[in-house]
Amino acid sequence: MRIPLVFGAWLDHEPGWLPPEEADSLLAALRDELGWEQREIVLFGQRILQPRLIAWAGDVGYRYSGQTLEPRPFTPAAQRLLARVRERANVPFNHVLANRYRSGDDSMGLHADDEPELGEDPVVAIVSLGTSRRLVIRPRRKGAPQRHDLDLSHGSLLVMGGTCQRHYMHGVPRQPGLQSERISLTFRRLLRPP
């Protein structure tokens, strides 16, 4: 379902994108295959542990939040999913960042995916597996209309496109009391360094 936002931004949300059995087996495979770690980031000059686990794959290094994710090969399950997401979004993604929210205490702060190596107005696709979590989407400009909250369920796909990263921020707030896990995979197209 295409959701137009203001200023040329849009979302494309497809809740049942992966059939449940396929989503189940992907969740199990990615949990095992990916090299999960909890990284330190620098926030307001202080080193803190990210409140979630991450893993990634791609043949171009990615710098974000003061850290560098060095190139790593795609695992078999991540490679299969990459091919499907590329075809569905019609974008030649070459990088995936996986986030593992171990419970409702894990989260991701409001941010935009606007690093220089993504180029102007990048399309970013998010595949969700496991427990549903709320993705909040907020306009950057105070008073601008249209905030959006979406519950991203098992097997769903969300594509953020147009000027979304220029005009909106997104994040996954804590949901205290939630005991179960979610893995999200965010697909990006990184431009190669010159």
Ligand X SMILES: O=C(O)CCC(=O)C(=O)O
The binding site for Mn ion (CB under 5 A) comprises 113
Cα–Cα distance between 84 and 74 in angstroms, integer? 14
**Residue nearest Mn ion by beta-carbon distance:** 113
Which residues, numbered 146-185, are part of the site for ligand X (CB under 6 A)? Answer: 152, 170, 172, 184
Q: Which is nearer to ligand X, 170 or 189 (by Cβ)?
A: 170
User: Which of 154, 155, 137 has its CA nearest to residue 146?
Assistant: 137
Residue placing its CB nearer to Mn ion in the complex, 105 or 113: 113
Q: Applying CB under 6 A, which of residues 30, 78, 89, 108 lies at the interface with ligand X?
A: 108
Minimum distance of ligand X from residue 38's CB (angstroms): 15
Closest CA to 108 of 76, 86, 138, 135: 135
Query: Site size for ligand X, by CB under 6 A?
Result: 11
In sequence order, what E strands does 24-81 have? Answer: 40-43, 46-49, 53-58, 62-64, 67-69
Structure tokens at 86: 């590329």
Given the complex with ligand X, which of 131 and 184 has the nearer CB atom? 184
Helices 76-89 and 20-33, packing angle to 10 deg: 130
Residues that bind ligand X (CB under 6 A): 97, 99, 108, 113, 126, 135, 152, 170, 172, 184, 186
